[in-house]
Amino acid sequence: MSSWDAEPVWITVAPIGAEVSRKDHPGLPHTPREVIAASLEAVEAGASIIHLHARLPDGTPSGDPVLFRETIDGIRKKSSALTMNSTGGAVWMSMGERTRCLDALPDLCALETGSLNFDDEVFATSRPDSIATAARAHALGIGIEIEAFDVGHVVAAARMLREGHLLGPLMVNMVLGVRGGIDASPEGLAALLRPLPPDSRWSVTAVGRHQRRMLAVGILLGASGIRVGFEDNVKLRHDRLANSNAELVADAADLVRSLGRRVASPAEVRTCLLRGLADAREGDTG
């Protein structure tokens, strides 16, 4: 392996989510205007990728591409951070509703490659739906980050790569600690990394109280990125509510630096992820 500790670590902020509400954090952004403000503040604090969901003004999750587009436009006007639309949506959304957000043309989208129990609910993504969503993202020039909540999701992504449904190298976000998915432990992360094809890029997300220590494990094992934000955890160091998404990003940036690595800039992440996409396309057309 090349000297991974010299490689910068990108920070993704997930400021909104779909399963969190203002009961969990009164400052949860809902409207595009609120999301843009929270995102730009997070970029100032060190984030280079914004993982987006959309909400109606009353907080109901929505797949409306107009809401996503307004948010993306506002972020792009004032920063070079990469935008990533969730095609996971909310657990209760149909696949059609989840994927409408691709029409807003983000830089990247998050894609599920399998199903799991999401606490008491079923979060279902069939293989044909994953393949169709990947094809649509490719056709629109949108990069893909796989969201792996359990080992089978990584295995399924590797199969999609082998079969040509995904462009390489894979970019996989390892999500630890969802009730129903893999547990937030070093062994859990190792299990997710085992089926990952060589040369893949991977990042770590951990929900709730295990977040900071699992991000540290990822940083030390060579993760390309880490993710924080109200979608995953509303508390700072699990004893008080974070003041903002930006405060969580600043804390994550401190963690990266304290472990001897450096925080990637949006320009570095753009070059790394979007050039990879262009190279893969050239390879395709031969």
Footprint of ligand KMH (CB under 6 A): 17-19, 86, 88, 90-91, 110, 112, 118, 123, 147
Nearest approach in angstroms of CB 52 to ligand KMH is 9
Nearest approach in angstroms of CB 279 to ligand KMH is 25
Residue from 39, 48, 83, 86 binding Zn ion (CB under 5 A)? 86
In whole angstroms, give the CA distance from residue 175 to residue 39.
21
10 binds, among ligand KMH, Zn ion, none (CB under 5 to 8 A by kind): none
83 binds, among ligand KMH, Zn ion, none (CB under 5 to 8 A by kind): none
Strands (E), the chain: 10-13, 49-52, 54-55, 61-62, 82-86, 108-112, 116-118, 121-123, 143-148, 171-176, 201-206, 225-228, 235-236, 240-241
3-state secondary structure of 255: helix
In whole angstroms, give the CA distance from residue 212 to residue 229.
12
151 binds, among ligand KMH, Zn ion, none (CB under 5 to 8 A by kind): none
123 binds, among Zn ion, ligand KMH, none (CB under 5 to 8 A by kind): ligand KMH
DSSP-derived secondary structure for 109-146: EEEE-S-EEETTEEE---HHHHHHHHHHHHHTT-EEEE
Residue range at the interface with Zn ion (CB under 5 A); choices 4-12, 84-92, 94-102, 157-165:
84-92
Q: Can you say how many angstroms the Cα of residue 125 is from the centroid of all Cα atoms in its chain?
A: 17
Residue range at the interface with Zn ion (CB under 5 A); choices 85-93, 100-108, 112-120, 159-167:
85-93
DSSP state of 6: G
Report the residue closest to Zn ion, judged by CB. 86
150 binds, among Zn ion, ligand KMH, none (CB under 5 to 8 A by kind): none
